[in-house]
Amino acid sequence: MEIEARARDTVYLSCFDRKTNRFQPSDYLTEVAGPIVPRLDVLPLPEPPLGDGVREPQTLDVSFSDLAGFEECGYRYRLGNVLGFQTQIAPELGYGRAIHHVLRQVAESVRRLGRTPTRVEADSLVDTEFFVPFASPQAWDAMRRAARRMVTTYLDYYADDLSRIWAVERPFALHLDDGVVSGRADVILDGEGGRDDSLAIVDYKIATDERREARYEEQLQVYSAAARGEGLTVEAAYLHDLRDARRRSVNVSEPSANQASEKFRRRLASLRSSEFVPKPDGYRCGECEYHTLCRYAPTATETD
């Protein structure tokens, strides 16, 4: 076997016990673990690597979402992003991206036709462009109908946006001491406040979460800082809830954007130093895909 030669820190071998029928461990696993595969109550993990004082840690290039997730719980980040533990595929996976893609096609149709699409044209566009690969036919149909409603509501309240679009899915990169934080702005509008070359960043949300409001705001502040670093004039930023067409302004003044950038500088430095700090929380741990193998997840008694 070549396990030790290929593994960098640790190698894990596992098998299902049961899904609908009982599983038998593979010959490969029993060759390593023996005929009876031990059950572990605690997942053994290696300690973070120690610096040798010679080799400089690599410069990081991480997405805003990954770094925000690292801040929420460093241990979860380690399990998913570093050690590569996979999560179960959710039927709605890609739903938000599908909605964003449809809205992008709506914007492109305005550029092409020179007018806002009719209700029939918008519905047809949703039917053609909406794609959620892992959904069942029933779930797909329900999500498609919801997408139709969101697009119709958007056109009813914000059709003027479509004539102001400066960029869609615009990439940004914030360069910091320990690496780069990257992301994509859903939409950037021109002519903010009636002024030429004055931009507004809009971030679409399919489902908002009050516990993550600060995270949503930081995202727009970081994008604004990155945009200004490119010489762009960002005057405003908005969080847009597509379900009910609510749009909320976010403070992206230079002091606020600089403060958010400093927070991300510290987080990136912690990530570069492999500081995977667990942050157990009853609600967040209950939603975490890794709670069954996490040694820090609170028990049922602790969450009562």
Q: Which of 260, 185, 199, 193 is nearest to 233 (CA)?
A: 199
Q: Is the pLDDT of residue 212 over 50?
A: yes
Residue 60 · residue 268 · CB < 8 Å: yes
CA atoms of 258 and 174, how far apart (whole Å): 11
From start to end of the chain, where are the E strands? Answer: 60-63, 165-176, 179-189, 199-205, 234-241, 246-249
Query: End-to-end CA distance of the chain, in Å?
Result: 47
DSSP conformation letters of 121-132: HHHHHHHHH---
Q: Is the pLDDT of residue 51 over 60?
A: no
Q: Is the pLDDT of residue 231 over 90?
A: yes
Residue 194 · residue 231 · CB < 8 Å: no
At residue 130's C-alpha, the angle toward residues 136 and 201, to 5°, is 125
CA atoms of 136 and 92, how far apart (whole Å): 9
* Lookup: tokens for 185: 């702005």
CA atoms of 103 and 126, how far apart (whole Å): 9
At residue 154's C-alpha, the angle toward residues 235 and 120, to 5°, is 145
* Lookup: tokens for 117: 């699409």
* Antiparallel, parallel or unpaired: β 60-63 and 165-176: unpaired
Share of the chain above pLDDT 90, in %: 33
Residue 87 · residue 127 · CB < 8 Å: no
CA atoms of 228 and 198, how far apart (whole Å): 12
Q: Is the pLDDT of residue 56 over 60?
A: no
Q: Model confidence at 32, in pLDDT bands (50, 70, 90)? A: confident
pLDDT of residue 55: 52
* Lookup: tokens for 134: 């892992």
72, amino acid identity: E
| Count of beta carbons in the 10 Å neighbourhood of residue 40 | 9
Residue range 244-291, pLDDT digits in tens: 888 999 999 999 999 999 999 999 999 988 889 999 987 788 888 888
pLDDT of residue 18: 65
CA atoms of 124 and 97, how far apart (whole Å): 18
Q: What is the pTM of this model?
A: 0.77
Residue 39 · residue 254 · CB < 8 Å: no
Q: Domains of the chain: which residue ranges?
A: 95-161, 164-272
Share of the chain above pLDDT 70, in %: 85
Q: Half-sphere exposure (CA, 13 Å, Cβ side) for 226?
A: 23
Residue range 128-142, pLDDT digits in tens: 998 888 788 888 899
Kindly report the length of the chain: 304
pLDDT of residue 109: 85
Dihedral angle over CA of 67, 73, 75, 77, nearest 10: -30
- CATH fold of 164-272, please? Lambda Exonuclease; Chain A (3.90.320)
pLDDT of residue 36: 77
CA atoms of 71 and 109, how far apart (whole Å): 39
Q: Which of 80, 70, 87, 106 is nearest to 204 (CA)?
A: 106
Q: At what angle do helices 254-272 and 213-229 cross, to 10 degrees?
A: 100
Q: Is the pLDDT of residue 5 over 50?
A: no
